[in-house]
Amino acid sequence: MLAIISDIHANTEALTAVLEDIASHQITRIICLGDVVGYGPNPRECLDMIMAKATVSLMGNHDFAVLYEPARFNIGAEMACFWARRQLETEEDHAKYSARWDFLGTLPVKYNMSGEDVGMGDLVFVHGSPRRPISEYIFPDDVYNSPHKVTGLFDRFSHLCFAGHSHVPGVFLETPDFYSPSELEGVFEVTSRKALINVGSVGQPRDRDNRASYVIVEPGAVRFIRVPYDFEATTKKVYAIDDLDDYLGTRLKEGRFVIPDFQREFEWKPWDIKDLMRSIFLDYYIGSTTQPFNERAGLFTWEAEAGEATSLVRHQIVRFCNVLMRARALDGDVPVDHPYFTQLDAYVGWQKIHACPGPIE
């Protein structure tokens, strides 16, 4: 058997709980899909644990950002990367200092192996996607809004591809379709059919379940595992570090993308607005299959949360929420060139709402 983990994000409490759970299954092969660092309060410790326990570890976009430079990150993610870098640079133990930087500097971006011993074909492992291994997101709503994007990814592997990055576990099929772990009752039965499997996040889940997520690959199946951990302890650590925005801790409690404080004293960048809009869009899609939209309308009442945000930011938020609500009123059958979407493009600066290019950190 094989365990696959991803997106630890410097969360020692979550990683410790997951490694203990993996050991309880007597699994010794662990593949880490990247993002060991970023966001969280314990980058040194998590790097040491992954270096000791993972058979293979890949480069994630936050690992890349700490090693080189964060590109188009929102302000909170960017600050967290610079803080993590300082933690590694100020290590006084020369052996640990060198080992951690050497590890980050030699991480591969993709890994391939035969799945013959578990009754499967070739297995491909990436952080983001098989097309852009470090940075491309694959979201559940892409099967509706970017179907050609999803089907195009399947040309790049022969049987199974495992990814992380979005922090939302589930299985993509070529049709395209997406199935959450709950829809699969926790187990994906592997056939000859191709599948792209997101393993979720150990240290920062975003599917409204705050338990750490990983998968076990066993003969003929991929099993989704959730592990409770002391997220309160991690949250307190985040709150205690000035350079880590509090929302990075709040996310852990809620198990979903939580936006930065509207009243933060910094200039909003275009991708900050886009991240905010994308988070609302994601939240809508993740919840829409289990809860009627009208019961979730409160999620889209942003005036109260907006506080002292600029009128432009508030206007963009409210407008976007109205787009979603009107689209839902039309039973979701809205072409990508519909005026609602093209008007939104003009305000937010997206290429197309269905493509949603760019970061969401």
Are residue 329 and residue 273 in the same domain, yes or no? Answer: yes
Distance, CA of 176 to chain centre = 20
DSSP 357: -
Is pLDDT at 93 greater than 60 in this prediction?
Answer: yes
For the sheet with 160-163, list strands across it.
110-114, 122-126, 160-163, 195-198, 170-173, 177-179
Are 51 and 70 in contact by the 8 Å Cβ rule? The answer is no
Are residue 179 and residue 291 in the same domain, yes or no? Answer: no
For 104-261, where are the E strands, in sequence order?
110-114, 122-126, 160-163, 170-173, 177-179, 187-189, 195-198, 212-218, 221-227
Are residue 279 and residue 190 in the same domain, yes or no? Answer: no
Round to whole Å and give the CA distance between 213 and 227: 7
Are residue 175 and residue 272 in the same domain, yes or no? Answer: no
Is pLDDT at 203 greater than 50 in this prediction?
Answer: yes
Report if residue 112 sits inside a domain: yes
Are residue 163 and residue 212 in the same domain, yes or no? Answer: yes
Bigger pLDDT: 271 or 203?
203
Residues 6+ apart with CB under 8 A from 272: 74, 75, 260
Are residue 219 and residue 286 in the same domain, yes or no? Answer: no
Weakest-pLDDT range from 38-52, 65-79, 92-106, 267-281: 267-281
Are residue 174 and residue 311 in the same domain, yes or no? Answer: no
Is pLDDT at 351 greater than 90 in this prediction?
Answer: no
Report if residue 260 sits inside a domain: no
DSSP 25: T
Are residue 136 and residue 7 in the same domain, yes or no? Answer: yes
pLDDT in tens, 284-300: 444 433 333 333 333 33
Distance, CA of 14 to chain centre = 15
pLDDT more than 70, % of the chain: 71
Report if residue 238 sits inside a domain: no
pLDDT in tens, 153-183: 999 999 999 999 999 999 999 999 999 999 9
What is residue 164's predicted lDDT score, i.e. its pLDDT? Answer: 97
Residue type at 213 in one-letter notation = S
Bigger pLDDT: 345 or 44?
44
Residues 6+ apart with CB under 8 A from 195: 159, 160, 161, 171, 172, 173, 188
Is pLDDT at 20 greater than 70 in this prediction?
Answer: yes
Question: What value does the mean pLDDT of the chain take?
Answer: 79
Between helix 75-89 and helix 247-254 the angle, nearest 10°, is 100
Query: Stretch 192-210: mean pLDDT, rounded?
Result: 95
What is residue 346's predicted lDDT score, i.e. its pLDDT? Answer: 39
Residues 342, 346, 347, 350, CA torsion sign: positive
pLDDT more than 90, % of the chain: 60
Report if residue 245 sits inside a domain: no
Is pLDDT at 278 greater than 90 in this prediction?
Answer: no
Residues 6+ apart with CB under 8 A from 124: 110, 111, 112, 130, 156, 157, 160, 161, 162
Binning pLDDT at 50, 70 and 90, where does residue 146 land?
confident
Is pLDDT at 16 greater than 80 in this prediction?
Answer: yes
Residue 14 sits in a domain of what CATH number?
3.60.21.10
Are 196 and 96 in contact by the 8 Å Cβ rule? The answer is no
Round to whole Å and give the CA distance between 148 and 150: 5
Are residue 299 and residue 206 in the same domain, yes or no? Answer: no
Report if residue 66 sits inside a domain: yes
Q: Which domain holds residue 154?
A: 2-227
Query: Stretch 129-136: mean pLDDT, rounded?
Result: 94
Q: Which residue has the tokens 């930087």?
A: 101
Bigger pLDDT: 281 or 61?
61
Report if residue 248 sits inside a domain: no
Are residue 302 and residue 207 in the same domain, yes or no? Answer: no
Are residue 209 and residue 279 in the same domain, yes or no? Answer: no
Bigger pLDDT: 307 or 101?
101
Report if residue 17 sits inside a domain: yes
Report if residue 92 sits inside a domain: yes
What is residue 297's predicted lDDT score, i.e. its pLDDT? Answer: 35
What is residue 305's predicted lDDT score, i.e. its pLDDT? Answer: 37
Query: Stretch 348-360: mean pLDDT, rounded?
Result: 36
Kindly report the pTM of this predicted structure. 0.76
Query: Stretch 248-276: mean pLDDT, rounded?
Result: 59
Round to whole Å and give the CA distance between 241 and 260: 16
Are residue 180 and residue 273 in the same domain, yes or no? Answer: no
Q: Does the N-terminal peptide bond of residue 176 adopt cis geometry, omega within 30 degrees of 0?
A: yes
Distance, CA of 155 to chain centre = 23
Domain boundary among 227, 256, 282: 227
Q: What's the structural domain count of the chain?
A: 2
What is residue 75's predicted lDDT score, i.e. its pLDDT? Answer: 78
